[in-house]
Amino acid sequence: MIFLSSLGWTPDREAQLPAGTEAARVARVDRGRLTVLTADGERRVHPAAALHDEAGVESPAVGDWVALRGELAVAVLPRRSAFTRTVSGRTSTAQVVAANLDAVLVVDALAGETRLRRVERYLAVAWSSGATPVVVLTKADLCDDVASAVAEVAEDALGVEVLAVSSVTGEGLDAVHAVLGPGRTAAMVGPSGVGKSSLANALAGRAVAPTRQVRESDGRGRHTTTARELHLLPGGGLLVDTPGMRELALYDDLDGVDTAYADIVGLAAQCRFRDCEHRTEPGCAVAAAIDDGTLDPGRLLAWRKLQREAHRQLLRVDARARAEERARTRAFFRAIRDQPNRVR
Ligand SMILES: Nc1nc2c(ncn2[C@@H]2O[C@H](COP(=O)(O)OP(=O)(O)OP(=O)(O)O)[C@@H](O)[C@H]2O)c(=O)[nH]1
Ligand SMILES: [Zn+2]
């Protein structure tokens, strides 16, 4: 018997639940079937036809709360937060990768090349989801000066909590457990190889995610596993680990960029000219901050680059949306024209 509260259920959701239904949390979605966690344990159910949504936005995603009537999920309860990605293909809609996250662990390693810019990019994605980001720097056992590495990232990450852990020695795991807390749900984002699977296993205290070594030795990708993608941790928290989250395309959200670079946005608001491009304009607060050393020029460059990427992505989505609209309109008129008994 599991208590719904340990799955992240809150009493205020009670009113959202249609009469005669039971609450369940989606732990996995495959080919239209759902693996859900309920007060009685794990179950496989089907989404009702009404939940089939071509765009994929309204259909259940990992982390969603659904209302069950027997073996049928009849409703998706309102989401508190959602991680979406733009699906490239015929449609230009966003697909929900994970829902109802309280925290997003932005994972990077304390080994390897400079990580600031990378962390910034993932932080922007995390902010745009509506969940609170926390930076988790792994492989602390491989780093000689953990304290200064953490301080460097913390200074850059503007008020975001920064934790250092080692999945090998177990150092720092308690602090991550504390972030997760009973009934709180987190997911991990970060580049390949930084130790997300190892962290998931260390937090769960059992092998819930195959690490790279395991995957390479058995020659199968992680997509072939059918394990659930929402894990109950011994500390009471829940961890989402879905392939979709790992493959998250960076950058399709300008608001996320602005939140991650709130310092630059704040400076830009003080520039003399509203359309200041922060290059050679007089009265530029951004240039002044670089001159007096309070703003790292690398940070400005990274911001410019992300803004360009985000704009390009938005334009692409927009162009696709317009093309689709035109195709729909054409099809509509063709249908009218082809009607045998149309009124002339
Ligand atoms: N020394 C040390 N090695 C680690 C730690 N965490 C992970 N590793 C190693 O780093 C490599 C990558 O770890 P994974 O957990 O597979 O990384 P991942 O982020 O899940 O990678 P993807 O699944 O490709 O996204 C493996 O060889 C792990 O053994 C750590 O805390 N310390
Ligand atoms: Zn300026």
Q: What is the pLDDT of residue 142?
A: 92
Does 282 fall in a domain?
A: yes
Residue 139 is labelled as binding a ligand: yes
Q: Which of 1-15, 145-159, 232-246, 310-324 has the lowest mean pLDDT?
A: 310-324
Does residue 119 share a domain with residue 67? Answer: no
Q: Kindly state whether residues 112 and 195 are assigned to the same domain.
A: yes
216 shares a domain with 198: yes
Instruction: Say whether both 127 and 176 belong to one domain.
Output: yes
Q: What is the DSSP string of 54-109?
A: TTSSSS--BT-EEEEETTEEEEEPPPS-EEEEEPPSS---EEEEEES-SEEEEEEE
Please report which ligand is nearest the Cα atom of 281: 2
What CATH number is attached to the domain comprising 36? 2.40.50.140
Residue 206 has what pLDDT?
84
Per this entry, what is the length of the chain? 344
Residues 235 and 258 both lie in one domain: no
Helices 116-128 and 146-156: angle between axes, nearest 10 degrees: 50
Band (166; pLDDT cuts 50, 70, 90): very high
Rounded to the nearest angstrom, the gap between the alpha carbon of residue 192 and the centroid of all alpha carbons in its chain is 15
pLDDT (0 to 100) of residue 115:
72
Cα separation, 24 vs 34, whole angstroms = 10
CA-nearest residue, atom 24 of ligand 1: 192
Ligand closest to the CA atom of residue 300: 2
Q: Are residues 23 and 133 in the same domain?
A: no
CA 22–ligand 1 middle distance (angstroms): 39
In a shared domain, residues 12 and 113: no
Q: Is residue 84 part of a domain?
A: no
Whole-number Cα distances in Å, 250 to 84, 309, 321? 11, 9, 20
CATH number of the CATH domain containing 150: 3.40.50.300
What's the pLDDT at 237? Answer: 92
Do 107 and 235 belong to one domain? yes
The pLDDT value recorded for residue 341 is: 56
Residue 340 lies in a domain: no
Ligand 1 pocket, residue 168 CB under 6 Å: yes
Domain end call among 61, 78, 95: 78
Q: 28, 62, 78: which is the final residue of a domain?
A: 78
The whole-model pTM stands at 0.72
State the sign of the Cα–Cα–Cα–Cα dihedral 126, 129, 132, 136.
negative
Is residue 44 one of the residues assigned to a domain? yes
Is residue 143 in a domain? yes
**How high is the ipTM of this complex?**
0.94
Same domain, 21 and 118: no
* 129 touches 101 (CB < 8 A): yes
- Is the pLDDT at 192 greater than 60? The verdict is yes
The response to whether residue 294 sits with its C-beta less than 6 Å from ligand 1 reads: no
Reply yes or no on whether the pLDDT at 116 is more than 70. yes
In a domain, 96, yes or no: no
Residues 240 and 261 in one domain: no
Confidence class of residue 86 from pLDDT cuts 50, 70 and 90? Answer: low
Q: Are residues 189 and 224 in the same domain?
A: yes
pLDDT for the residue numbered 233: 92
Could you give the percent of the chain with pLDDT greater than 70?
76
Candidates 107, 197, 241, 245: which one to mutate for ligand 1, based on the most atoms within 8 Å of Cβ?
197
CATH code of the domain containing 278: 1.10.40.50
- Specify the number of domains making up the chain: 3
CA distance 314 to 94: 12
Is 293 within any annotated ligand binding site? no
**330 within domain boundaries:** no
Q: Is 162 helix (H, G, I), strand (E, B) or coil?
A: strand
CA distance 75 to 67: 5
Q: Residue 50: its pLDDT value, please?
A: 80
Could you tell me if 116 and 138 lie in one domain? yes
pLDDT digits (tens, 9 = 90+) for 63-80: 999 999 999 999 999 898
- Which domain covers residue 241, as residue numbers? 103-246
- Is residue 18 in a domain? yes
Considering 224, 246, 268, which residue would you say is the last residue of a domain? 246
